[in-house]
Amino acid sequence: MDFLYRRSYRGPIKAVILDWAGTAVDYGSFAPTAVFLRLFESQGVSITAEDARSGMGLMKKDHLRTILSRPTVAQAWEAARGLPHTEADLDHLFDNFIPMQRLALEEYAEPIPGLLEAIAELRSRGIKIGSTTGYLRSMMEVLAPKAKEKGYAPDCTVCSDEVPAGRPLPWMCYQNAIQLGVYPMAAMVKVGDTLVDVEEGLNSGMWTVGLSLTGNLLGLSAAQVQALSPQERDIQKQKIAAQFFQTGAHDVIDGIWDLPKAVEKIQERLARGEQP
């Protein structure tokens, strides 16, 4: 055979798939962090915010497993409890985490500034809005109605306990595509504030956009970000962007307010024949 032909999608972007905490709501992604800190404290184990943020974006049981596997946390657990942690300990922590997280979520449903305007702009272009999350469906039953009261309601939400496995595997994105009725995957953009968000999108065959200022990698509130000097803000943005690009992100923006422009850039790349 002298030639090999392959199809190349050059049509419009049809959907964006957003993460929740740190991307669409909860500037700084504080809801999981605060609960993990309280959870370990209740077991007599002291962990840091950095420990709590490790594994952010994963299904929450996998997130817990990541925290426990950190050497400093493993040592603190053994010092406090007398034995290394076991799978039974993980199950016990997860069982306690679920109601604690549900109780906290109502406090963290505020849309990130610029979200509602960005969503309106994208919808005016005929783009559908999906979402994936490391939260369980029982947690989203608390968060989603509160976010809707504040004006944010994506067309589709798929939770990590509704598919065979959460991020970085692609199943939640595929389920979004099915529920939204959108294909091919190259017509979709995955947007998130964690590296596993980008991995999830890449594994799904989608375009990916990382967020530098509003999410877990920076881990600051809007007020704290505003208090940074322009120079310090730029340093942090460059550091986070480097992590995203090394993971394979196609673009990195400050926050969700810049998403319409990022989608325009991806649309131009599609028109030139580029693929995710």
Mean pLDDT for 116-136 is: 97
Give 217's DSSP letter.
T
Mean pLDDT for 258-272 is: 97
Please state, rounded to an integer, the average pLDDT across all residues of the chain.
94
Closest CA to 56 of 21, 90, 85: 21
Instruction: Return contacts of 183-187, CB within 8 angstroms, 24+ apart.
Output: 184/9, 185/276, 186/9, 186/270, 186/275, 186/276, 187/9, 187/11, 187/12, 187/13, 187/14, 187/15
Predicted model pTM: 0.90
Could you report how far apart the first and last alpha carbons of the chain are, in Å? 27
At 266 the pLDDT is 98
Strand, coil or helix: 153 = coil
Residue 251 pLDDT grade (very low, low, confident, very high; cuts 50, 70, 90): very high
Catalytic residue among 14, 26, 51, 60: 60
Strand partners of residue 129: 16
pLDDT greater than 70 at residue 1: no
Domains of the chain (ranges, CATH numbers): 15-30+112-271 (3.40.50.1000), 31-107 (1.10.150.240)
Answer whether the bond into residue 168 is a cis peptide, omega within 30°.
yes
pLDDT greater than 60 at residue 118: yes
| Phi/psi of residue 210, nearest 5 degrees | -100, 155
Phi-psi label, residue 226: left if phi above 0, alpha if psi -120 to 50, beta otherwise: alpha
Strand partners of residue 251: 209
Alpha helices (H) in 181-229, listed in sequence order: 195-203, 222-227
At 4 the pLDDT is 73
19 is catalytic: yes
CA dist., res. 63 & res. 95, Å (int): 13
Quote the radius of gyration of the chain (alpha carbons, Å). Answer: 19
Mean pLDDT for 79-93 is: 88
CA dist., res. 133 & res. 140, Å (int): 9
Mean pLDDT for 118-125 is: 98
At 211 the pLDDT is 98
